[in-house]
Amino acid sequence: MATESKPPFPPFTRETAQHKVKTAQAAWNSKDLELVQYAYTPDSIWRNRDTFLQGREQIVEFLRKKWAKEQGYRLRKELFAFTDDKIAVQFWYEWHDETGQWWRTYGLEDWTFAKNGLMRKRQMSGNDVKITEEERWFKEGVDVDAVEISERHW
């Protein structure tokens, strides 16, 4: 749809880039496919690790399968860098598999935006690390932004 838009719009400032990052974090943590899909252009292209997608339909199907597998999903995104129409993000998220094994996924994302503020390209690289219940950062009732993440966690 030509009338779709999602402010803030490029060119980004530190403040507007930060807003985009935290809005994306909240949307992904909601796991609301209707909300998440409309942050992307109808023909958005993605690389998620070794998976390549194009268009909202493929994005929704990918996320549906991802969130069915990754139970207890909690995500934090932080602004890494930005330019006029691009934002780089570092992220961490925790989840458990069907056996109850907890994982933390670390990674980086590279986003490119259309003039209407929708993301037209997303590239993600990430690595999964097994963790114990005691090593979890994002437990129920804890605000993901309130967790102090320092270099010692890497």
Residue 5 inside a domain? The answer is no
Which position has the token pair 């996924």?
Answer: 105
- Looking at every residue in the chain, the average pLDDT score rounds to 94
Residue 92 inside a domain? The answer is yes
Residue 147 inside a domain? The answer is no
Number of domains in the chain: 1
Residue 6 inside a domain? The answer is no
Q: What is the pLDDT of residues 34-77, one digit of tens each?
A: 999 999 999 999 999 999 999 999 999 999 999 999 999 999 99
Residue 78 inside a domain? The answer is yes
Q: What is the pLDDT of residues 93-121, one digit of tens each?
A: 999 999 999 999 999 999 999 999 999 99
Q: Structural domain of residue 70, as residue ranges?
A: 18-142
CATH of the domain at 34: 3.10.450.50
The band of 153, judged by pLDDT with boundaries at 50, 70 and 90, is: low
The closest of 81, 116, 94 to 10, measured between CA atoms, is 116
Alpha carbons 107 and 90: distance in angstroms, whole number? 6
Q: Dihedrals φ, ψ of 71, to 5°?
A: -75, 150
Residue 86 inside a domain? The answer is yes
Contact indicator for 68, 144 with CB cutoff of 8 Å: no
From first CA to last CA, the distance across the chain in angstroms is 42
Share in percent of the chain as helix, strand, coil (round to 5) = 30, 40, 30
Residue 85 inside a domain? The answer is yes
The band of 148, judged by pLDDT with boundaries at 50, 70 and 90, is: confident
The closest of 97, 96, 93, 102 to 149, measured between CA atoms, is 93
Residue 2 inside a domain? The answer is no
User: What pTM, to 2 d.p., does this model score?
Assistant: 0.93
